[in-house]
Structure 1
Amino acid sequence: MVTTTVTTSSTVLSSPKAKQAPSITTTVSLNHVFPNSYKDDLAVHSLQVPADVGHARYLDQSLPYVPVFEEQYGPEVSSSLQTKYYTLTESGQAGIEAATATLHALFVQATEHVLANQESLASYFHIPAALWPRIQDSWARQYVIKNDTISGRLDFALTDHGIKVYEYNADSASCLMECGYTQDAWSNAAGLGSIGRSNSSTLFTQLTAAWKSKNVQGTLHLLCDNDPEERYHSLYMKATAEAAGIPCVLVVGVQDLHFDSSDGATILDGQNRPLQNVWKTWAWQTVISQYEARNAGAAATSGVVQVMDVMLHPSVRVFEPLWTVLPSSKAILPILTQLAPDNPYLLRSTFDAADIPLFTGGYVAKPVMGRTGANVSIYNGSGDLISATAGKWVDDTIVYQEIALLPKYEDDCYVQVNTWAIDGEYGGTVLRIDESNIVGLNSGIYPMRVVPDKCLSMAISASSVLPKYLNAVKKDLAVHTLNIARHVGNARYLDASLPFVPTFEAKYGHEVSTAQQSKYYTITEAGQAGVEAATDILHQLFLRATDHVLAHKRELAPYFCIPAGLWPKIQHSWTHHKQDTISGRLDFALTDQGMKVYEYNADSASCLMECGYTQDAWSNAAGLGSIGRSNSSTLFTQLTAAWKSKNVQGTLHLLCDDDDEERYHSLYMKAAAEAAGIPSVLIVGVQDLHFDSSDGTTILDGQNRPLRNVWKTWAWQTVISQYEARNAGAAATSGAVQVMDVMLHPSVRVFEPLWTVLPSSKAILPILTQLAPDNPYLLRSTFDPADIPLFTGGYVAKPVMGRTGANVSIYNGSGDLISATAGKWVD
């Protein structure tokens, strides 16, 4: 089995006659085959705690959520001097981060599928018919409500065959504070701070950034039941929202809520403040139960507010919104099996008991409406019951799921991995430990540290386990000659009605081929899987390296040649706009030893249109449509989904230079944003931009529309050059807007954000080598010429600030120069 044309350079696609060696480039967007994580990546360790440490207080009592936590669990590090902790390898961590992001996207896709096929699927979810229009409205209303999600928790087993997901608690889930605060505080107090690194140190800032992106107007009420765990969980979330500048009120129970006597409809809190924005620990299942009871004629105390009155109120904005009841239901699991039968993270699931014999290793029966591990039964391959829990969902519809038992470790305990998706991206991990293979409400939580793969044998006291990566090698790619009939070669192969096509044709022509002979490439399915996996694991690795650079600015900043005055802006961009990325391009070589990455163009990169449109259009016109499959047929829809997820408020301005390639690239991205419902304007150059005369700071376009959201082809290096010139005293035309004025403007949201200048820099490469020395996709890199003899096969010298292959020199193993390019980065 082969896959048709891989992404090569734009020259090859637009001019089939060109003779050029292909390099593999991949576009990072949403959903690919991700790396994995396995049972052996996780290990348990005993820890002796000195008495003075064990009895010490380890949490900061000045934090509002700590006193309630200590009331529940006490203030001491450990009541026992013998305790334990867990470690996970870096490759295992990369696997669960990737699985979190891809599964979040898959559960969202399945939700959309359910709503599109409501007539045939709704009955499985046990949701009253009258609530389905509300769910549809929650999902569809201008794409805004879909972005009213803050966090969700995925529950995994790490098996010998990789990550297997049990369910997605997208509606309401516990353990946020344990994940983002207590496990690291405990680790530091117990002396584990020097062992590896945290898995969740950014969770609080990610939550704060998520709240900032929601544009909450007015007070946020956080509703929880009168339970200590719910209260400290809510107080932790309240602190993150307050850090985002949102005024917040905690409401415990609903007894103080009441209807406004003046209109009988508005719900007020105990201080007579109206409820307009609500985050809650109450599950939507509570609302469904109250709704069913009220419609069945259950008497309600006159004027008393119930949870359902708040969460279904048309004037109340709820986080997490009503549609999250669907991905949180067990009924979504068989639908995921139908949509993605080959996804390695999923366990096959079915509503039909007749399918049980397909689960030859055993199966799990769980009720659709069940929560907290209730009414779950586990059967082995012979159909014998091996474990079961009680609960109130005895008569519920059952979902049958392929068995994947939780792994048991040397402490004789079962471990479930729970990861948080914050705004759809990985936020942190918490481990839940139980003596039973069904994790329940009383399971324990122990800290987890992330350790380098090379330390695995030392950390686990077991034999070394190699990281597990999919790969692609040179022989996976092949070139083929193609004879093109004259009538085919002269034909137009692009749709001229698409807004980006005329500019492309003006540059490259409209014909399939001006020659009667051309060529195309194929890659094997195994090679394609390797390319996809490498794309995602490297994206995560470049992000980790970015975080490392910002955590060690004092030592590492000088290597990046970025003015000191911009580093606080970069830090702010990382903290508050980490999610404002749409796409980035990785450049690879396919070698006999596997994929080797040259760099990550995370800031600005070309060839999106060639990847997502012209290569498939050319293939179909040239008669290749029946050979294998496309590698990028979903790119446009992935870009559209990415834009939908960003909750862009107002107009998006797409800025590019006056260059044909930049224009059609920008028009392609503009079409994707418009398909997401975002009004968009293309701006070529900056000559029509001007400052608003009324305030002297707002930047307006030629039609006097303010610039609030900007996507750009301009590289951040342009901004750095202009910033340096202006600070060096270079005169700027009075009142003229430069690129830097737009991209550094405090009121302009930029895609891709400023922090992407770091992973796009060549200076990140030696840092990647330090962080992941054994990663098979990386080429060893260094700042120190003294290390050159270590590169016995030869080496490449490239400038940190260089772009488009300029000033690159290649030396063989004897140190002889064999190739070089010119450019402006000589010094």
Structure 2
Amino acid sequence: MDRHTIEPRPGWQATVEAQGLIYPLTRYPDDSLRPYWDESAYYAFSLPEVEALEEVVEELHRMCLAAAAHIVEHERFGDLGITDPRVADRVAESWRRRDELPSLYGRFDLRYDGTGPAKLLEYNADTPTSLVEAASPQWFWMEERFPGADQWNSLHERLVDAWKRQAALLPPGAPVHFAHSAGDELGEDLMTVAYLRETAEQAGLDARAISVENIGWDRISGRFVDEGYGFIRACFKLYPWEWLVTDAFGPHVLDTLDNGGGTGSTLWIEPAWKMLLSNKALLAVLWELFPGHPNLLPAYLDGPRELARTTGYVAKPLLGREGAGVTVHPAGAPEEPRDEPCCYQALDPLPVFDSNHVVLGAWVVEGEAAGLGIRESAGLVTDGYARFLPHVIL
């Protein structure tokens, strides 16, 4: 794993925008615009390196499924902040019927520097983003800049194949609605959902776009409907489950949740059992079940324990996104009590390449390793100001 600087392509911004990345720039607090898509450098991997990482990712996914099974079997929903018995029951039912429910993808965030074992930082298993840039623009960048090279990137083909294989799990004859939030000002959610809708259409599905805000509730029929009052029988949503079940329509979601084989109900993709994996408490359960595993960092829910004086720790809100609420505590620093439930994970600072902190985003589709996206940040926490860099296998 090496970082190399390179001259960006002339007109790169227009190029990646035409490929679906309509948010190539990030606005900073000083009102300046700087590249989010950053092709002034790239990362190079060897094939054995990538093959080893693929094995790690698939093993981590299997371990996460084992942790989910443990949470359901031992009814540890409270550790995840799921305190509503109805929500817990629906999640447990969804887990037990998971073979009947469509589930596409997820993204592991890994600490890796090319020398030691990759370490799991978190699993984005419900609403992962950075998919468009990982699947499309970086592939076309490689073809233009490094013809004949390769890339850890089979995302598009695997997503299309996943829709084909899972079509039998969808309500027969019903279109699949693809929902994003209209409150997304950057366009990232919009384009992520549009891209996934395109993969579904290429698989032969009837796919229709809708915003979450335009999903209606028909009180007479007791169903969710689209703008034309058509019954929403199946819906992919880039909208977190923890928001969905607590919104004003949350009770209707629970009442009509299709957990496999139901009629007159709505099938949501990703399924409700993904709430078990998209929660930072998963990290602590993993460490409890697989203590000392080379690809895990020690993590706890009841406080930092020995981490406060040994490695230091990172406090992560159970449902935080893009680094929101994450705090870093070096070893020996005074502990700072948190008012919200957190996961306390050992501090293993991100590796630094040319003064940039680097995190790997490794994708899985149907549980199989499918691609890589790399983000760089100025600080230890990968936040909304991180930049996306392409990679190649040389």
Question: TM-score category by the smaller chain?
Answer: 0.7 to 0.9
CA distance in 1, matches of 2:87, 2:68: 15
1:152 alignment partner, one of 106, 115, 123: 106
Indicate yes or no: 2:48 matched with 1:87: no
User: Do the aligned partners of residues 141 and 168 (structure 1) sit closer, same or farther apart at CA in structure 2, a change above 3 Å counting?
Assistant: same
1:182 alignment partner, one of 119, 137, 140: 137
Q: Is the 8 A contact 1:54 1:80 kept in 2?
A: no
Amino acid at match of 1:231: L
Alignment of 1:794-805 (within 5 A): none
Amino acid at match of 2:42: Y
Q: Is the 8 A contact 2:80 2:281 kept in 1?
A: yes
CA distance in 2, matches of 1:309, 1:47: 52
Displacement after TM superposition at 1:311 (Å): 7.1
2:390 alignment partner, one of 443, 447, 466: 447
User: Do the aligned partners of residues 211 and 112 (structure 1) sit closer, same or farther apart at CA in structure 2, a change above 3 Å counting?
Assistant: same
CA distance in 2, matches of 1:382, 1:109: 34
Amino acid at match of 2:161: A
CA distance in 2, matches of 1:350, 1:260: 44
User: Do the aligned partners of residues 357 and 346 (structure 1) sit closer, same or farther apart at CA in structure 2, a change above 3 Å counting?
Assistant: closer
Q: Is the 8 A contact 2:308 2:332 kept in 1?
A: no
CA distance in 2, matches of 1:211, 1:244: 6
Give SS of 1:289's match.
coil
Q: How many residues align?
A: 369
User: Do the aligned partners of residues 311 and 241 (structure 1) sit closer, same or farther apart at CA in structure 2, a change above 3 Å counting?
Assistant: farther
CA distance in 1, matches of 2:251, 2:63: 29
CA distance in 2, matches of 1:222, 1:375: 29
The runs of 5 or more residues in structure 2 that have no matched partner are 26-34, 258-264
1:198 alignment partner, one of 151, 158, 163: 151
Indicate yes or no: 2:80 matched with 1:109: no
Indicate yes or no: 2:176 matched with 1:220: yes
Alignment of 1:350-749 (within 5 A): 350-353=300-303, 355-357=305-307, 360-383=310-333, 395-410=339-354, 412-451=355-394
Give SS of 1:365's match.
strand
Indicate yes or no: 2:198 matched with 1:272: no
Q: Is the 8 A contact 2:276 2:282 kept in 1?
A: yes
Tell me the C-alpha RMSD between the 2 structures. Answer: 2.6
Displacement after TM superposition at 1:43 (Å): 1.3
CA distance in 2, matches of 1:222, 1:80: 25
Amino acid at match of 1:198: Q
Displacement after TM superposition at 1:56 (Å): 7.7
Query: What TM-score, normalized to structure 2?
Result: 0.86
Indicate yes or no: 2:120 matched with 1:162: no
**1:780 corresponds to which residue?**
none
Give SS of 1:427's match.
strand
Amino acid at match of 2:371: G
Amino acid at match of 2:79: Y
- The answer to which structure, 1 or 2, has the higher relative contact order (CA under 8 A, 6+ apart) is 2
Q: Is the 8 A contact 1:284 1:325 kept in 2?
A: yes
Displacement after TM superposition at 1:161 (Å): 3.0
Displacement after TM superposition at 1:313 (Å): 2.6
CA distance in 1, matches of 2:339, 2:49: 39
CA distance in 2, matches of 1:98, 1:219: 36
CA distance in 2, matches of 1:333, 1:421: 18
Amino acid at match of 1:337: W
The runs of 5 or more residues in structure 1 that have no matched partner are 1-41, 291-299, 301-305, 452-827
Give SS of 1:267's match.
strand
Q: Is the 8 A contact 2:304 2:345 kept in 1?
A: no
Displacement after TM superposition at 1:144 (Å): 1.4
CA distance in 2, matches of 1:262, 1:312: 15
User: Do the aligned partners of residues 82 and 164 (structure 1) sit closer, same or farther apart at CA in structure 2, a change above 3 Å counting?
Assistant: closer
Q: Is the 8 A contact 2:107 2:362 kept in 1?
A: yes
Give SS of 1:353's match.
coil
Q: Deviations over 1:522-575 (max 9, x none)?
A: xxxxxxxxxxxxxxxxxxxxxxxxxxxxxxxxxxxxxxxxxxxxxxxxxxxxxx
**2:218 corresponds to which residue?**
260
- Which moved further from structure 2: 370-379 or 231-240? 370-379
Q: Is the 8 A contact 2:106 2:363 kept in 1?
A: yes
Q: Deviations over 1:420-473 (max 9, x none)?
A: 11000011000011111100122110101112xxxxxxxxxxxxxxxxxxxxxx
CA distance in 2, matches of 1:177, 1:398: 30
Q: Deviations over 1:323-382 (max 9, x none)?
A: 111111111111111211132111111123362348612211112232221111212222
Indicate yes or no: 2:307 matched with 1:348: no
CA distance in 1, matches of 2:38, 2:215: 46
CA distance in 1, matches of 2:340, 2:95: 26
**1:325 corresponds to which residue?**
275
Q: Is the 8 A contact 1:287 1:311 kept in 2?
A: no
Which is higher, the Rg of structure 1 or of structure 2? 1
Q: Is the 8 A contact 1:155 1:416 kept in 2?
A: yes
Displacement after TM superposition at 1:274 (Å): 0.9
**2:159 corresponds to which residue?**
207
**2:194 corresponds to which residue?**
235
The percent identity for this pair of structures is 24
Amino acid at match of 2:140: A
2:90 alignment partner, one of 134, 141, 145: 134
Query: What TM-score, normalized to structure 1?
Result: 0.42
